[in-house]
Structure 1
Amino acid sequence: MEAPAEANTGLSAAPHVVLTREAGKNGKLLAMLAARGVPALELPLVETAPGPDRDRLPAVLGTGRFDWAVITSPESAAVFLEGWRSAGCPQVRIAVVGVGTGGVLRAAPEAARLDIAFTPSKADAVHLAAELPLGEGQPSARVLYSASSKAGSDLQAGLAERGADVVRLNTYSTLPVSSLAPAALEQARHARVVAFASPSAVKAWLKLAGDGARHCSAACIGSTSARAAERLGFERVYFPDAPGLEGFVASIMDALDSKPLAAP
């Protein structure tokens, strides 16, 4: 797939910031940056594809045997909703990793029928695994984890250590786009900040823009993307304590305030 060349900004000069989320998911971020006078270029680097377990989700949900369903990203929430509807909207307690993920569920027409019962103190898999109420001293809690194929094992490992019986379904995956419009890519290479919302986007940026593209600052939506950027050689990485759009914008602004590195 070739990413769209449109930037939704009409920029002719180099943008300050490149936004790399999937097509259609950058609108709010573009508007928030525009309100702060920050020129930004929308350059989707990843796309979402069905995972190997996606078709199993409705049947597994329909068994009604789970104490919790845990959801760790907005995309996972959207996929969960689709499977939950196909299963006939069964009753299940839901734990969400953070505000953004919960917001997808609360915006659904059936929100009143969704039992969103838990959010951890910090929006990451480690805190969710450590803090999810499991009813210690009772039989093992059964937890359904609808995940990305690319997600790590921190959540299920942490829950299993606490005695939970975790069923993981890889219901979606994030794939890099295969190519970019040359003019848009050249424009993006001159940006001061590239904003990432997934490790897949970090990898796609370096693959498509080249190793020299590390001279820009990386502004990340959360710690998972930030760790990926650091591992892949970015020297300046910014991310918020709590993932979400407000924190994402704050990290972008912090990155813009830093002194640029010299381009190679």
Structure 2
Amino acid sequence: MAFSSSLAFPFPSPPSGTFQTRSAGRLRTGATERFLERSSPPPDVVVTRERGKNAKLIAALEKHNIQSLELPLIKHVDGPDTDRLPEVLSNDKFDWIAITSPEAAAVFLRGWKAAGSPKVRVAVVGAGTARVFDEVSQSDDQSLEVAFSPSKAMGKVLASELPRVSESTCKVLYPASAKASREIQEGLSDRGFHVTRLNTYTTVPVEDIEPLTLKLAISAPVVAVASPSALKAWLKLVSKVDCWNNYIACIGETTGSAAKKLGLKSIYYPTTPGLEGWVESVLEALRVHRQLKEGPNVEHG
């Protein structure tokens, strides 16, 4: 069941959208004007993950006849410790590698292969993160074992549930986004784990967004976000327009909590992070939007 907050946000309701699009997977930079000339429905939801990672959400929403506009808000770049990862893996042994996102998994795999694919035991947060390791963990090599995932796909739950594999100090390598909080490393350290954190990647906002594409996005009733970084990038964009006060559908509690802290009004997110719950959050936000839009007018006298 998705959660809705009721915090105030300092933008009045937007004007009716006059821009049109079709499915987000077919919209690319430079093509906006061609789509404006077509008589397709306006977007219901803006999907904002980095380019190449929105297809599953778009396809899931299309099954419910939801029209999406793809607007990548962030992109991943190397972090300050990217080049150190292969050296650390080659020169030290860890009881656990803690991986908390698909991007962290992809970056780790590149460093792990560069280090000669040493034997490692991996703890993952979320089914999406685990899938990044499927090809390697199911191979005959067996050098990489995905051995643990927490009862809830959240970093703080991993920190509280990660099992000790020896009576001596357990060593954990935590390759993370440079923007990730210290919640995991502090939670593990409080339990007696020795944590080595490497900031192997970071996120930066996408800057080259066409004005007409932005207007299309602002006309959509729902924006779907998968990280606090994407959320902040969206707020930076809408701060340049006169008004925006629509719905935010978050992938999980971490992003939902960030939205609340930023003072957003209508926030929806699942109790368990993941694609299925995210889709339901989008659908719930749209249901509320349509109910308010189609509700009977009440005269007050």
TM (norm. structure 2) is 0.80
| Aligned match of 1:206 | 235
Compare relative contact order (CA 8 Å, sep 6+) and give the higher one, 1 or 2. 2
1:175-254 to 2 correspondences below 5 Å: 175-210=204-239, 214-254=244-284
Q: Find the aligned partners of 1:77 and 1:126 in 2 and give their Cα distance.
A: 18
Does structure 1 retain, via aligned residues, the 8 Å contact 2:218–2:244? Answer: no
Runs of 4+ in 1 over 4 A off after TM superposition: 10-13, 108-112, 211-214
**CA offset digits 1:67-124 (Å, max 9, x no partner):** 0000000000000110110011111110001111001111448755320000000000
How many pairs were matched up? 258
User: Considering only CA atoms, is the larger Rg found in Structure 1 or Structure 2?
Assistant: 2
1:85 is the counterpart of 2:110: no
Q: Find the aligned partners of 1:213 and 1:175 in 2 and give their Cα distance.
A: 24
Q: Find the aligned partners of 2:31 and 2:92 in 1 and give their Cα distance.
A: 45
TM-aligned CA distance change 1:190 to 1:111, over 3 Å: farther
Deviates more, 1:48-57 or 1:98-107: 98-107
Deviates more, 1:227-236 or 1:51-60: 227-236
TM-aligned CA distance change 1:179 to 1:38, over 3 Å: same
1:37 is the counterpart of 2:65: yes
| Cα distance, 1:4 vs structure 2 | 3.1
Q: Find the aligned partners of 2:50 and 2:30 in 1 and give their Cα distance.
A: 13
Deviates more, 1:230-239 or 1:108-117: 108-117
Cα root mean square deviation, aligned: 2.2
Gaps of at least 5 residues in structure 1 are none
Percent of pairs identical after alignment? 50
Does structure 2 retain, via aligned residues, the 8 Å contact 1:64–1:92? Answer: no
| Cα distance, 1:165 vs structure 2 | 0.4
Q: Find the aligned partners of 1:242 and 1:111 in 2 and give their Cα distance.
A: 29
Q: Find the aligned partners of 1:65 and 1:36 in 2 and give their Cα distance.
A: 48
Aligned residue for 1:215, secondary structure, equals coil
| Aligned match of 2:29 | 4
Aligned residue for 2:72, secondary structure, equals coil
Q: Find the aligned partners of 2:48 and 2:238 in 1 and give their Cα distance.
A: 12
Q: Find the aligned partners of 1:100 and 1:46 in 2 and give their Cα distance.
A: 19
1:20-169 to 2 correspondences below 5 Å: 20-108=48-136, 111-112=139-140, 113=142, 114-135=144-165, 138-169=167-198
Q: Find the aligned partners of 2:77 and 2:243 in 1 and give their Cα distance.
A: 26
TM-aligned CA distance change 1:123 to 1:109, over 3 Å: closer
